[in-house]
Structure 1
Amino acid sequence: MTSRLDRLPLRDDLRGLTPYGAPQAALPVALNVNENTHAVPQDVADDILDSIAFALRDVNRYPDREFTALREGFAEYLGHGLTADQIWAANGSNEVLQHLLQAFGGPGRTAFGFAPTYSMYPLLARATGAAWIAGTREADYTITADAASSQVATADPDVVFLCSPNNPTGTPLSLDVIEAVYAASRGIVVVDEAYVEFAPHGTPSALSLLPGRERLVVSRTMSKAFAFAGARVGYLAADPAVIDALRLVRLPYHLSALTQAAATAALRHSDTMLRMVDDIVAQRDRISATLEALGYLPHESWTNFVLFGGVDDPADTWRRLYDRGILIRDVSIPHHLRVTAGTEDETTAFLDALASIDSEA
């Protein structure tokens, strides 16, 4: 017989919390969790499979604890003069962020972010014992340098999360805001660039700010632009001292040999893997334009999704789309819903379904 959770000796600070749980349903069109809806190209998949097969020959041995080849691959991909000793990786960017909080957050410390933002930040903070402080954004979800630095200075957090571009709103974040927050803080400043590959070409990355800023961290993921969500690979770039700190909290051999082999192979084909980004951006912009024509209020997005307002009853619209085989996301922002940019056919299915709902109103 299974015990009730409230009868177990659970940590007091975890009681009442709800686990992260985006809906998963076997619908024809799933556009709710910002996955890359394009499959890994066949030639890349073949190389990945060959690399995994080779790694299997030694799978009876522990993997390279320092995942050296993978770190070298990430350094080469990121550029900016980065070297392998400035790179860290883990099983998805959530584990990367968890490592940061384990090392620099924890009991008696605080983590800060500008709400609304990625829902895992407060969950990870609280799960690792840190208190979460939510800052505020402008009405259009932007952040100014002055307002950001003032809020951070007042909160005085140990860890600051800056989602750039922001999830779930898609909002860009300029480098001057990052510089201002760093100057106003004493703790670790994490710039989460999970969606940066979907920003306009030539947009500067926070990676350019790393020199001389030993408390600055830039986090990335292979889940989005690299179509690698199921592989669970996230990484970051920072001062080598930060990397040393993360070694103190990671589990031994935390990246399997198979994960290392798959990710290293995918990086060898970064140009091919990223070619689908332009198509996704085109579908994102098509969604925004069509939503506006339908009378909704899409927010500017530099990601692979669109947050749109003007929804009278988000729960009802979500359910009616669900009944039509379309899964999108209710992110609990009043009168808003969020949709991932899919393939051309998936995008058409969503837009046609939404138009049909509107015609019934």
Structure 2
Amino acid sequence: MSNQSFLPMPDHNGMFGEYGGSIIPPELQKAIDEITLAYEEIRQTDVFKEELRDLLKHYVGRPSPVYHAKRLSDDAGGAQIWLKREDLNHTGAHKINHCLGEALLAKHMGKKKVIAETGAGQHGVALSAACALVGIPCEIHMGEIDIAKEHPNVVKIKILGCKLISVDRGTRTLKDAVDSAFEEYLTNPQDYLYAIGSVVGPHPFPAMVRDFQQIIGEEARKQMIERTGRLPDYAMACIGGGSNAIGLFTAFLSDESVKIIGVEPSGKGLDTPDHAATMTLGKPGALHGFKSYLLQDENGQPLPVYSIASGLDYPGVGPQHCYLKDIGRVEYTTATDDECLDAFMKLSRLEGIIPALESAHAVAAAARMAKYLPKTTNILVNLSGRGDKDADFVAEKLGL
């Protein structure tokens, strides 16, 4: 496959093939264009690059290690499973990588408030921390159901000084939190920055968040060569909006020997309405200012979606993922709630690592696949977050 199939992207209109773009009102486009211009200017400056590099090292704790999960691999009975430990980052997940970049951009632009949505709460915690660090007020919109499920992260968001808005309409989960946050942003786009939490939304956000997250793959590529003497045979990550996945995948897109797999939530089953398998069952549509695969009804309206992992229950997906699916570079598969819970407990009890429920989807798919592969095969999984936020919920669900 030619590198030109996927690099460079997006084009000047923010398109990844037929996906992406900026489908927003003209009056808002001016504010978004200012963000695009500011981002393109600041990302080239030595001052910004050095400040971000210093924070990633001394504040976040990068590079995050790559860990060989030997007991999990033995349990699967085949290939070797390796974990990129984003769970060890400050604030507990990969989200801090792009939140620092967005907070620094807001400071550079002189914004008076940063607004965002959160599902599982990791983006909310990370952005609250980043805004506290740079001294800008932060407002997080979160669905009522997710607030109840993710109590530990809700407390952290408040402790960090962020204003938390409970969203009680619609599904009361991530999609409606995005709607609510976007409406608040529209009240004053000149003074506010909407810090999108994934590789979704209108251009430049899918590219911007990817750029900040691609450090995951850059580190992991070098680390796997150092640890094993070669590239991994597989690179895997969970997919909701897709930020942790694109962060890992980007470094391996040109390596044809590396098979790349994204793992979506099939929830209670693909034959039920209780899933969020956008890439598997969706079709092209528009949501939140961009075009992507979308779980939608006959009128093109987003369907209610579900996942045991709050960070994955989104009816759309990042436009670059859609393009990579269409050209066949990345394969997208699924894991159920039950498989996720099983992987959550196995990783905890075999390796002493409690994963986020989101990340457990990728662990589940890797373990499922590993048993059919030779022991010399290496599977690299992005362990995108830790499970502190999910521990009480899982314990109650499993009767622990």
TMscore range, shorter length: 0.3 to 0.5
Larger CA Rg, structure 1 vs 2: 1
Instruction: Give the TM-score of the pair, scaled to structure 1.
Output: 0.36
